[in-house]
Amino acid sequence: MRYSAYIFSMIAFVVVFTAAGASSAGEGHDVPPVTGSKELQKLKSLEGEWHGTVVEDGKEIPVTVVYETSSNGSVVVETLSPGTPHEIVSVYYDDGGKLSMTHYCAAGNQPHLTLDESGDDGIALIFAGGSNIDPAKDGYMHGVGFEFDGSGRMVQSWTYFDGGKEAGTTSFTLTRAGQ
């Protein structure tokens, strides 16, 4: 009989301890939302769904891009072509107060880019390293630029390098969904 009382006490302790931990884990400990650099704030303002086109082999192809703010406002997650075999995710964040991003490429590498230029109508990031990449011989995303026109439209240009040289730029012309 003593053994079952011991087991019951242990189960009760685990349940109470787990419930207490779970209730405090999601509270954020009263941490204010992260505002970040002006460039990160600009990317946060893109939150939502965007539709547009990209030209490949002379043909216009429809494209969807989704922006979500996450992690208490400290990151912007960009999903290009969500739900398709060509889905690509990039995560934008501040590193020491400077906009940076990691691009999770369909090629299986993860280029890391940092802020190169910024202005009222645009942001440009450039390659600063990465994982699963040998820049001298591999293909990888080397740069990305955003051009904003202030009316819910933007052009996003991705520059690709292969074998240590520029291999082309792909531009997406996008409009915020519902506009």
Q: Tell me: the pLDDT tens digits for 54-113?
A: 988 889 999 999 999 999 999 999 999 999 988 999 999 999 999 999 999 988 999 999
Q: Is 8 helix (H, G, I), strand (E, B) or coil?
A: helix
By CB neighbour count within 10 A (0-12 exposed, 13-18 middle, 19+ buried), where does 38 fall?
exposed
pLDDT, tens only, 108-166:
999 999 999 999 899 999 999 999 999 999 999 999 999 998 888 999 999 999 999 99
DSSP 33: P
The reported pLDDT for the residue numbered 86 is: 87
Determine how many CB atoms are found less than 10 A away from the CB of residue 46. Answer: 23
Q: How far apart are CA 130 and CA 31, in angstroms?
A: 31
Residue 82 CA to residue 63 CA, distance in Å, equals: 9
- % of residues, the chain, pLDDT over 70: 84
Model pTM score: 0.81
Query: Is the CB of residue 93 less than 8 Å from the CB of residue 75?
Result: yes
